Amino acid sequence: MNTENFGSSERLVTAAYVRQGAQGRRGHELLLRALLEQGKCPEDGWDESTIELFLHELAIMDSNNFLGNCGVGEREGRVASGLVARRHYRLIHGIGRSGDISAVQPKAAGSSLLNKLTNSVVLDIIKQAGVRTVTNCFVVPMATGMSLTLCFLTLRHKRPKAKYIIWPRIDQKSCFKSMITAGFEPVVIENVLEGDELRTDTEAVEAKVKALGAENILCVHSTTSCFAPREMFSYLSSELKKLADLHNERLLDTPHNPISLAMSLKNLDENNDVAVTQLGSMLFTRQVSGARVVPRGSVQTVNNYTFKGFMSHANDYSCAYLNAASAIGIKKQDVDIFLKRLDKCLKASRKGKEKSVNEICTSNTGTEQCEDQKIQT
């Protein structure tokens, strides 16, 4: 309820009573405001109604609770059981991003805000406990990276001489940082491109094991499976292929991947990262979550290791692309809405590119050269 809604309520209920109710809500809101502004532990504990109101307000800021959202990613905050969802106040997405637990999760503004407030309140409590010089803190869950680190440290007892971990490349920061944190040296094995599909170079893995010596290698740290595929995969595949053909793109041929699909983005000018990443922003602002655009040539440094073409899992993948997945819980409606919005975004991007070319032609080139540019476009 906001001021406008309270005003509308006065047409249905006596105005004096509505104003009294508004004042009651105002009391809760003042407590929320104090927490947001100060980030400190309240001197007086909140009652359950205030806590539940706050958690509900945060939850509806997460994309899985948006009324018009369609999710085509591998992790979209879907919950099969309403009981489980209610138990967690529908805060499903979690916090942080791969390899950076303190980062804001774009799909979960509410959960990210709750995380920041948690760290701030805990810091205040630590100071009140007497540690006045502390300047920062954060509450750490046992997530992917830390769990892997503990596994590596446990395996160290079985291979005390080992100092290397063989790592077939997968561009996910947490799994890479976990090896560094555990005190091992990652040995990166680049993938092999077979058509459009990246496959593990098993021969290179075997050769590296022989070169370094098995006793010096803790393990082979690989990604062998992912989320279970669902029946919507075939539908998503066929419909995405139709859309790709319509825009003179193509559905990448990845027969060994039963969950994720990718569509090329060659016509968005793959040498221009801005044009490609802008498509991702356009989809996100239109409440399409999970669809990921991967430009060519991006470089990322993780713990002093530099990866070219980061997020494409290869140094020089053949094209920029857009990724979508058919994960558990996805519905036909999600696919249809995603394709409709993607179609509109691609058309808008195309118009923007044509406008840019026309402006360049008008201001900087002659008629003949201008016509050549238009034909190439």
Is 161 assigned to a binding site?
no
Q: What whole-number distance in Å separates Cα of residue 67 and Cα of residue 287?
A: 9
Is 286 assigned to a binding site?
yes
Query: Pick from 76, 264, 109, 97: which is nearest to 172 by CA?
Result: 97
Helix-then-strand count for the chain, H and E? 12, 12
Is 98 assigned to a binding site?
yes
- The sign of the CA dihedral 117, 120, 123, 124 is negative
Identity of residue 368: E
Alpha helices in 187-322 (DSSP H): 202-212, 232-246, 273-285
- What is the token pair recorded at 161? 């001489």
Judge residue 116's burial from the number of C-beta atoms within 10 Å of its C-beta, 0-12 exposed, 13-18 middle, 19 or more buried: middle
> 148 by DSSP, 3-state: which?
helix
Is 172 assigned to a binding site?
no
Question: Using alpha carbons only, how large is the chain's radius of gyration in Å?
Answer: 26
Is 105 assigned to a binding site?
yes
Is 20 assigned to a binding site?
no
Q: If you count them, how many residues does the chain have?
A: 377
Q: What whole-number distance in Å separates Cα of residue 316 and Cα of residue 326?
A: 26
Q: What whole-number distance in Å separates Cα of residue 62 and Cα of residue 49?
A: 21
Q: How far is CA 88 from CA 110, 118, 120, 144, in A?
A: 13, 16, 21, 20
Annotated binding site for substrate: 97-98, 105
Annotated binding site for pyridoxal 5'-phosphate: 75
Annotated binding site for tRNA: 286, 351
Annotated binding site: 75, 97-98, 105, 286, 351
